């Protein structure tokens, strides 16, 4: 038994544990998104009843410093007054019309003004939907079928993107989930990150059949795997030379690491970009955007069908607009970079004294505590079983310190504008103390 098993037992009669029992009866696995179930760290999930700024309160009244931020959307923190006010005002005027409303124009104008190379945007309700639609559009525009993705990048749960790399040199994607027919992934190819030669070889073989290359320009769903700029530039060059589209999936990085996302930071302009998370400020919003010559293929102007009952609804739009406006008005991206740098200064000495190898990988307000022995990888390397176990122990030791980390060693942490210097110091102190108990 590991040291955190006591904690699990202590939780057995907690309100969270009782809610989880009820949830498991009526919801598969007790959760509506798998990572929430704590399977990667053991124990049972906490149920939260409120959030304010950088803090969460669980069903048992315990308060936690939140480093998850709902997996990215809450860049202003929980229940930011400007967002709450905008959402409440929008609700009172009707939650959805199924017809155009002014707020969707306002959010679309902000996207177009912020993101390089973008003239038009279509608003949807999740990142998955944005990616799925962008890929359909890329296939329609190019008249080609093949999609190239990278091992370690996540693009939501659309059938043709739930693929694992095949064995050996074959890059044919095989379904990574039950329920996905081989035929649906037959047009998906999977490449390793950080490998120009592999991309060049695929383009040499299949270049004229490739509709699009999709990548998280800052891969943040398998830990945080910042890429060499030259690699992304090579992808830009290859796609341009061979008439394929380059799609940046900026669902995490968009409006987080800069106003213009990774494209702005890297100075590389994709053909299409997808958004989610921050763009909705905590409400369900996704978007995909690009130049008019491509976007015009969408219905009703063009022949590529895409639709949504609640797309562009005024409540979700109000949340996104308020979030982007606070970020712009408060110089949010500069402040988040400063908070990230401060965190780095505080954590480095703690990590140097950790009882096992532990590295901080950070880009702006995104960071990952990597337990790879060798430091920070650039590809989707698997953590050793020992590292996964260490993370589980650390996760529970941090909970005991009142700090909520993501419940998986492969997930990145998120800072918000609500994280104060005192919160960052609390995190560093908590980490030092938690690591002490694991010695
Ligand atoms: C979260 C995420 C998605 C999926 O977004 P959902 O809103 O969960 O459907 C797609 N791409 C990336 C890069 C993501 O991080």
- Residues 222-274 pLDDT 10s: 999 999 999 999 999 999 999 999 999 999 999 999 999 999 999 999 999 99
Average pLDDT over every residue of 313-333: 98
Q: Which of 329, 350, 376 is the last residue of a domain?
A: 329
Output Rg (C-alpha) for the chain, integer angstroms.
Answer: 22
Residue 125 near ligand 1, beta carbon < 6 Å: no
Do 346 and 413 belong to one domain? Answer: yes
Residues 87 and 49 both lie in one domain? no
The residue whose CA has the least distance to atom 8 of ligand 1 is 127
In this structure, the answer to whether residues 292 and 346 fall within a common structural domain is no
Same domain assignment for residues 305 and 386 = no
Could you tell me if 312 and 344 lie in one domain? no
Q: What is the pLDDT of residues 189-226, one digit of tens each?
A: 999 999 999 999 999 999 999 999 999 999 999 999 99
Model confidence over 144-179: pLDDT tens digits? Answer: 999 999 999 999 999 999 988 765 554 778 899 999
With CA atoms as reference, report the closest residue to 369 among 397, 349, 394: 394
Interior angle at CA 240, CA 260 and CA 188, nearest 5: 90
Q: Are 120 and 295 in contact (CB under 8 A)?
A: yes
Q: Is 247 in the pocket of ligand 1 (CB under 6 A)?
A: no
Higher pLDDT, 166 or 36: 36
**CB burial class (10 A; 0-12, 13-18, 19+) of residue 27?**
exposed
Distance 30 CA to ligand 1 centre (A): 21
Residue of 115, 154, 404, 410 marked catalytic: 154
Nearest protein CA to atom 11 of ligand 1, as residue: 155
Helical residues (DSSP H) of 330-420, grouped into ranges: 332-352, 385-400
Q: Which of 277, 391, 410, 423 is catalytic?
A: 277
Q: Which of 389, 270, 406 minimizes the C-alpha distance to 5?
A: 389
CATH number at residue 92: 3.40.640.10
58-89 pLDDT, tens digit each: 999 999 999 999 999 999 999 999 999 999 99
Residue 9 has pLDDT above 50, yes or no: no
pLDDT at 18 over 80: yes
Residue ending a domain, among 306, 329, 352, is: 329
What is the rounded CA–CA span in Å between residue 378 and residue 110? 32
Distance 243 CA to ligand 1 centre (A): 26
Average of pLDDT values for 383-405?
Answer: 97
Task: List residues bridging with 78 in a β-sheet.
Answer: 53
The pLDDT score that the predictor gives to residue 51 is 98
* End-to-end Cα, the chain, rounded Å: 16
Rounded distance from Cα 326 to ligand 1 centre (Å): 23
Domain boundary, last residue among 290, 306, 329: 329
How is residue 135 written in tokens?
């890929």
Confidence of residue 2 (pLDDT cuts 50, 70, 90): very low
**CATH number (domain holding residue 50):** 3.90.1150.10
Same structural domain, 58 and 188 = no
Q: Within this chain, do residues 138 and 286 fall inside the same structural domain, yes or no? A: yes
Q: Both 101 and 244 in a single domain?
A: yes
Angstrom CA distances, 78 to 81, 170, 368, stand at 9, 45, 21
CA-closest residue to ligand 1 atom 5:
127
423 noted as active-site residue: no
Ligand 1 center to 69 CA (angstroms): 14
Based on the fold, state whether residues 196 and 132 are members of the same structural domain.
yes
Annotation marks residue 149 as catalytic:
no
CA-based nearest residue to 366, from 392, 390, 339, 391: 339
Angle of CA points 140, 270, 156, to nearest 5°: 70
Does the pLDDT of residue 4 top 80, yes or no? no
Rounded to two decimals, the pTM is: 0.96
For 71, the domain range is 3-79+331-438
Q: For the chain, how many structural domains are there in total?
A: 2
Q: What is the DSSP string of 350-370?
A: HHHT-SS--EEEEETTEEEEE
- Residue 382 and residue 239 share a domain: no
- For residues 272 and 149, membership in a common domain is answered with yes
CA 228 to chain centre: 20
Together in a domain, 237 and 188: yes
For the Cβ of 276 lying below 6 angstroms from any atom of ligand 1, the answer is yes
Q: Is 197 exposed, middle or buried (0-12, 13-18, 19+ CB in 10 A)?
A: exposed
């Amino acid at each position: 038994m590991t040291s955190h098993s006591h904690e699990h037992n202590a939780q057995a009669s907690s309100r969270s544990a009782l809610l989880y029992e009820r949830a498991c009866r009526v919801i598969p696995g007790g959760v509506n998104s798998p990572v929430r179930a704590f399977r990667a760290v053991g124990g049972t999930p906490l149920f939260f009843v409120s959030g304010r700024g950088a803090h969460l309160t669980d069903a048992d009244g315990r308060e936690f410093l939140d480093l998850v931020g709902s997996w990215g959307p809450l860049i202003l923190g929980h229940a930011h007054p400007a967002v709450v006010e905008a959402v409440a005002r929008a609700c009172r005027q009707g939650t959805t019309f199924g017809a155009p409303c002014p707020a969707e124009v306002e959010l679309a104008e902000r996207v177009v003004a912020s993101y390089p190379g973008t003239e038009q945007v279509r608003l949807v309700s999740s990142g998955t939907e944005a990616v799925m639609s962008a890929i359909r559009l890329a296939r329609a525009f190019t008249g080609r079928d093949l999609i190239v993705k990278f091992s370690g990048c996540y693009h939501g749960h659309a059938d043709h993107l739930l693929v694992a790399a095949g064995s050996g040199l074959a890059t044919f994607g095989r379904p990574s989930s039950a329920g996905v027919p081989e035929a649906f992934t037959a047009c998906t190819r999977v490449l390793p990150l950080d490998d120009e030669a592999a991309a060049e070889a695929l383009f040499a073989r299949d270049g004229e059949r490739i509709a699009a290359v999709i990548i998280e320009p800052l891969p943040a769903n398998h830990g945080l795997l910042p890429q060499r700029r030259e690699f992304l530039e090579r992808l830009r060059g290859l796609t341009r030379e061979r008439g394929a589209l380059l799609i940046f999936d900026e669902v995490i990085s968009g409006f987080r690491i800069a106003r213009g996302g990774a494209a702005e930071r890297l100075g590389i302009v994709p053909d299409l970009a997808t958004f989610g998370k921050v763009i909705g400020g905590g409400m369900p919003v996704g978007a995909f955007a690009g130049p008019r010559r491509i976007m015009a293929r969408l219905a009703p102007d063009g022949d590529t069908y895409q639709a949504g009952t609640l797309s562009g609804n005024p409540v979700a739009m109000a949340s996104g607009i308020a979030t982007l406006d606070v970020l712009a008005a408060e110089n949010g991206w500069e402040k988040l970079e400063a908070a990230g740098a401060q965190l780095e200064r505080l954590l480095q000495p703690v990590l140097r004294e950790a009882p096992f190898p532990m590295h901080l990988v950070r880009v702006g307000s995104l960071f990952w505590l990597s337990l790879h022995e060798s430091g920070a990888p650039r590809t989707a390397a698997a953590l050793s079983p020992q590292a996964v176990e260490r993370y589980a122990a650390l996760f529970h030791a941090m909970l005991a310190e009142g700090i909520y980390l993501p419940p998986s060693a492969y997930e990145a942490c998120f800072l918000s504008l609500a994280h104060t210097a005192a919160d960052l110091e609390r995190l560093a102190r908590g980490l030092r103390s938690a690591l002490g108990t694991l010695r």
